[in-house]
């Protein structure tokens, strides 16, 4: 799950990272009067979207007075933002963060990422912050410092000091920096993150250390350990994906027109590949889970059919512990409950498959059966094309 900048900063706060005062977050429909300013300003108004490069795209503005800040925040809400990271797509700005601006003297890049090659978290840092790290890795890789971390110990003192020397951190904030780097690694480990990034980490003209931006990507598989994260909206998920999640179905929307209902993630992946091989495109990845009960199959139909692109449904279920005849009853019962207006192709395999197929063929429901995944994929592609 990717967190918005202000959500990341709320977590940073718990780890004592130095930040400017946040005035507030404005959402669509909010009045900018809600923002209660105190202090001198200037203020910064920042579009809360899941993409970097906002600065250059008009998603970061500075205001000298509270009135201007309110005005800019109101203007930014609902705006369409295209940055170099959105692949040409426009993101709607649904939330805007207003906080105190900093008088930035120097920008540093600091992140912790899970490195599969190292098999450990790695701290990545560069004295050249602010710009894209991908760009820097291409043009000046020698400016990037990498420090692998033992996840059982966190960032050790000597490693943090070495990092600070490498980044030429001034003596006055040396200790504060090493504490910050250690806290960032602690946060990464405790929050089960895949990525935690501060770009930029600023040293102000008055020599203070300030976190300017935040990016946190957490590991969905560890969400069960983080109740406070599960209660947050998943900004990347579509409406259908969110609904699927609340009813416990593993669903990811795709671009094609063949709705797929499969049990098991591996089989679901194989089904997508086979559909592609047969010349079609899946509309989704959907894993109904181990127990393909009437209830789960009904819910899965409902979810698949919410996607208006779906022209045919392919059910590919392997009856292992769940027997094929029970699954067939599930499919028949579910299709009585849900109005399926598109062709249905079913491939069953496994225990009691003969009995399962018989139930389907004598059900009176228009179902096209297939004896193999390959045959099922071909039939589904044909059906989706209207043949």
Give contact residues for ligand ADP (rule: CB under 6 A).
20, 44, 52-55, 60, 99, 101-102, 104, 107, 130, 199-200, 212-213
How many residues would you count in the chain? Answer: 387
Rounded to whole angstroms, how far apart are CA atoms 179 and 300?
Answer: 49
253 binds, among Mg ion, ligand ADP, none (CB under 5 to 8 A by kind): none
CB of 371 to Mg ion, least distance (A): 54
Is residue 6 part of the annotated active site? The answer reads no
CB of 70 to ligand ADP, least distance (A): 17
Q: Which residue is nearest to ligand ADP (CB)?
A: 55
128 binds, among ligand ADP, Mg ion, none (CB under 5 to 8 A by kind): none
Contact by Cβ (8 Å): 347, 373: yes
Say whether residue 107 binds Mg ion (CB under 5 A): no
Say whether residue 128 binds Mg ion (CB under 5 A): no
> If you ran DSSP here, which 8-state letter would residue 342 be given?
S
Residue placing its CB nearer to ligand ADP in the complex, 58 or 148: 58
Say whether residue 199 binds Mg ion (CB under 5 A): yes
Rounded to whole angstroms, how far apart are CA atoms 217 and 195?
Answer: 5
Torsion over CA: 281, 285, 290, 293 (sign): negative
Tokens of 110: 């600091």
Contact by Cβ (8 Å): 47, 13: no
Rounded to whole angstroms, how far apart are CA atoms 305 and 341?
Answer: 9
Binding mask of the shown chain, residues 6 to 35, with x at each position contacting Mg ion by CB under 5 A: ------------------------------
275 binds, among Mg ion, ligand ADP, none (CB under 5 to 8 A by kind): none
3 binds, among ligand ADP, Mg ion, none (CB under 5 to 8 A by kind): none
121 binds, among Mg ion, ligand ADP, none (CB under 5 to 8 A by kind): none
CB of 78 to ligand ADP, least distance (A): 18
> If you ran DSSP here, which 8-state letter would residue 340 be given?
-
Please state at what angle helix 353-361 crosses helix 324-337, rounded to 10 degrees: 20
Among residues 6, 15, 109, 251, the one annotated as catalytic is 109
Residue placing its CB nearer to Mg ion in the complex, 7 or 213: 213
Rounded to whole angstroms, how far apart are CA atoms 179 and 320?
Answer: 53
Residue placing its CB nearer to ligand ADP in the complex, 59 or 330: 59
Rounded to whole angstroms, how far apart are CA atoms 377 and 387?
Answer: 14
Which element (helix H / strand E) includes 80? strand 80-81
Q: Which residue is nearest to Mg ion (CB)?
A: 213
Q: Which of 213, 287, 349, 368 binds Mg ion (CB under 5 A)?
A: 213
Residue placing its CB nearer to ligand ADP in the complex, 98 or 193: 98
Contacts of 206 (CB under 8 A, 6+ apart): 103
Residue placing its CB nearer to ligand ADP in the complex, 107 or 325: 107
User: C-alpha dihedral over 64, 66, 72, 77, to 10 degrees?
Assistant: 140
Residues forming a β-bridge with 263: none
Among residues 7, 128, 197, 368, the one annotated as catalytic is 197
Is residue 109 part of the annotated active site? The answer reads yes
CB of 199 to Mg ion, least distance (A): 4
User: C-alpha dihedral over 330, 333, 339, 341, to 10 degrees?
Assistant: 60
Residues that bind Mg ion (CB under 5 A): 199, 213
Q: What residues are labeled active site? A: 109, 197
């Amino acid at each position: 799950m990717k967190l918005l900048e202000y959500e990341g900063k709320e977590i940073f706060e718990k780890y004592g990272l130095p930040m400017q005062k946040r005035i507030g977050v404005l959402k669509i429909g909010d009045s900018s009067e809600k923002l209660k300013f105190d202090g001198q300003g200037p203020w910064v108004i920042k579009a809360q979207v899941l993409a970097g490069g906002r600065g250059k795209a008009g998603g970061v503005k500075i205001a000298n007075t509270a009135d201007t800040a309110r005005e800019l925040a109101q203007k930014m809400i609902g705006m369409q933002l295209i940055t170099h990271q959105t692949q040409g797509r426009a993101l709607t700005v649904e939330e805007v963060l207003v906080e105190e601006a900093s008088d930035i003297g120097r920008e540093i890049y600091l992140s912790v990422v899970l490195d599969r090659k190292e098999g450990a978290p790695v701290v990545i840092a560069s004295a050249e912050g602010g710009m894209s790290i991908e760009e820097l890795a291409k043009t000046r890789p020698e400016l990037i410092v990498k420090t692998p971390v033992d996840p059982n110990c966190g960032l050790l003192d000597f490693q943090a000091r070495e990092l600070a020397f490498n980044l030429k951190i001034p003596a006055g904030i040396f200790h504060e920096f090493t504490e910050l780097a250690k806290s960032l690694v602690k946060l990464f480990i405790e929050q089960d993150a895949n990525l935690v990034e501060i770009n930029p980490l600023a040293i102000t003209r008055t020599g203070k250390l300030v976190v300017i931006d935040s990016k946190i990507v957490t590991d969905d598989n560890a969400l069960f350990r983080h109740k406070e994260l599960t209660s947050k909206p998943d900004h990347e998920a579509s409406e259908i994906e969110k609904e699927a999640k609340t009813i416990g179905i593993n669903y990811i929307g795709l671009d094609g027109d063949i709705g797929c209902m499969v049990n098991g993630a591996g089989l679901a992946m194989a089904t997508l590949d086979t559909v592609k091989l047969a010349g079609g495109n899946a509309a989704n990845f959907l894993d109904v889970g181990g127990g393909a009960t009437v209830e789960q199959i009904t819910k899965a139909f409902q979810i698949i059919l919410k996607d208006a692109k779906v022209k045919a449904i392919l059910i590919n279920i392997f009856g292992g512990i769940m027997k094929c005849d029970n699954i067939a009853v599930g499919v028949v019962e579910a299709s009585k409950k849900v109005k399926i207006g598109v062709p249905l192709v079913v491939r069953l395999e496994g225990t009691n498959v003969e009995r399962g197929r018989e139930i389907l063929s004598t059900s009176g429901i228009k179902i096209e059966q297939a004896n193999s995944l390959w045959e099922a994929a071909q039939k589904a592609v044909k059906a989706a094309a209207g043949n």
